[in-house]
Amino acid sequence: MASWFRRNKPATVPAVESPAPRAAPTDTGTDVPPSVEPEPAAPGKPGWRQRIGSILTRDIAELFGRNPVLDDDLLDDIETALLTADVGVPATTALIDDLRKRMKAREFADANALLKALRNDLVAMLRPVAQPLQVDASRKPFVILTVGVNGVGKTTTIGKLARRFQDEGHALMLAAGDTFRAAAVAQLQAWGERNGVAVVAQGQDADPASVAFDALQVAKARGIDVLIADTAGRLHTQQGLMAELGKIRRVIRKLDADAPHEVLMVIDGTTGQNAISQLRQFNEAVEVTGLVVTKLDGTAKGGVVFALAREFGIPIRYAGIGERPEDLRVFDAEAFVDALLPESLGA
């Protein structure tokens, strides 16, 4: 390994941008977002229900809005609604089988009771994976390796995470490991400048493993709390690029045997059931330990979250429900389910 670095490391120290500390933000509505708001949303701010538009909300509202009879036809309609929202066949089958068994046992007095049972079942499916990311202060720096396919919003998510961690009082650094996309390094550097966060970067087409290694060296020397390393987006079917992720992990373990401490995969919530195969391949390559599901405000098919939870059981750390940094929310099972189901049954 030592000989590998002698052959491949640049002779010069990588660029480390250390912007001035971030000034107090002003609400311009564009470049400098307001401070991270408490979770759930502060009064007057859009919450989960206002941010997530779901076909499931509409379909369930229509079903129960017409005072349905509690029978197999109603369960069939609920099943169709769940499948249309991309909850997936295995998860939907488990939910409907439970409701059918309880309905035949005359457990539900009316449609409202059945809707409540559906809500509780959906929450129970997500609650085990609703685990916020905890930075272990004993691991310094705490290394987060971010992965995902092209176009999921990975670099933007890193910027939002940087803002969150900084507001929590952590000293952090970013590593621009997406060296294949020309705009990626500049994009991450822009986030760094905006938030007063140092960014370790090398030239385009540099070895991502070398970038991560150098960044970890610098973070250790500076006493940084959290290091977030970007990687190039790649299709889960590209075996060579998937193997590269394993190489990054092996290389940084030369400096810290336990790193990365979190492998955070960013998943586009509009992807639907294709997210299942994506996560399966990435998990095999680098052992994903946490998920961020983005773009939930722009999809009618957020039900894929249930499919991911049921098949993998990997913690869902954050959900993206808007463009602003504060719209990257800690994943809340109850808030998410309540955003998908109608608030009331109507008359």
CATH code for the structural domain at 48-129: 1.20.120.140
| CA 296, chain centre distance (Å) | 10
DSSP per position, 131-165: ------TTSSSEEEEEE--TTS-HHHHHHHHHHHH
> Residue 103 has which token pair?
């309905």
Selected from 3.40.630.10, 3.40.50.720, 3.40.1080.10, 3.40.50.300, the CATH number assigned to the domain covering 131-331 reads: 3.40.50.300
Residue of 74, 83, 157, 86 whose CA lies nearest to 111: 74
Q: What CA–CA distances, in Å, run from 77 to 69, 71, 147?
A: 12, 10, 37
- CATH 3.40.50.300 segments of the chain: 131-331
Give the list of residues 6+ apart from residue 281 with CB closer than 8 angstroms, or none. Answer: 236, 237, 242
The pLDDT value recorded for residue 237 is 59
Predicted local confidence at residue 158, as pLDDT: 92
Residues 6+ apart with CB under 8 A from 182: 204
pLDDT along the chain (347 residues), means of 10: 38 44 33 37 54 66 75 90 88 94 93 91 96 94 94 88 92 90 84 89 86 96 96 70 87 96 93 89 93 80 87 95 86 89 58
Q: Which residues, at least 6 apart from 220, have a Cβ–Cβ distance to it below 8 Å?
A: 140, 141, 255
pTM of the model: 0.82
Q: What is the pLDDT of residue 300?
A: 57
Q: Put residue 319 in one of left, alpha, beta given phi > 0 → left and psi -120 to 50 → alpha.
A: beta
Q: How far apart are the first and last CA of the chain?
A: 70
DSSP letter at 16 equals E
Closest CA to 329 of 160, 142, 155, 129: 160
